[in-house]
Amino acid sequence: MAAAESYPDDVRYHPEHDWARVEDDEAVLGITWFAQDALGELVHFEPPEVGATVAKDASYGEVESVKAVSELIAPLSGEVIEVNQRVVDAPETVNEDPYGEGWLVRIRLADPAEVDALLDVDAYKQLLAEQ
């Protein structure tokens, strides 16, 4: 069962429909409600390895539905310190709870100043309205 549409204000947004929740020098990354709705029910999550470097605006992995595949775009740069195994085992968790249980990776931030370039919830909603 997919979640109801929502865009929480405790995360920052990337225009490619990815979010980041900053917690001190770490951040948790995921995809927004809009992204999971466009893809449909997810069937596969291809994560990066723990220890891999991710770069802001670059791809760090993929998610797939039956009919589409989508690159995951990193909102922030850093080192992968944890991958959400629950999503690897049950990718539909992202559809059910995209901002909670459906988180994808946790990273240690390389440059916390990058957060300023991300969109807040109002700016992201504005971007969606223009789509």
Binding site for another protein (CB under 8 A): 40-41, 43-44, 64-69, 91
| Nearest residue to 92 (alpha-carbon basis) of 34, 19, 43, 32 | 43
Residue 57 or 92 with smaller CB distance to another protein: 92
CA angle 57, 43, 65 (to 5 degrees): 60
What does the alpha-carbon distance between residue 87 and residue 42 come to, in Å, rounded to a whole number?
Answer: 10
Closest separation in Å from C-beta 126 to another protein: 22
Structure tokens that stand for 32 in this block: 């927004």
Residue 78 or 91 with smaller CB distance to another protein: 91
Residues 6+ apart with CB under 8 A from 56: 74, 75, 76, 77, 111, 114, 117
Closest separation in Å from C-beta 74 to another protein: 18
Residue 32 or 65 with smaller CB distance to another protein: 65
Residue 69 or 117 with smaller CB distance to another protein: 69
Closest separation in Å from C-beta 8 to another protein: 27
- Residue given tokens 């992201």 in the structure block: 124
Closest separation in Å from C-beta 40 to another protein: 8
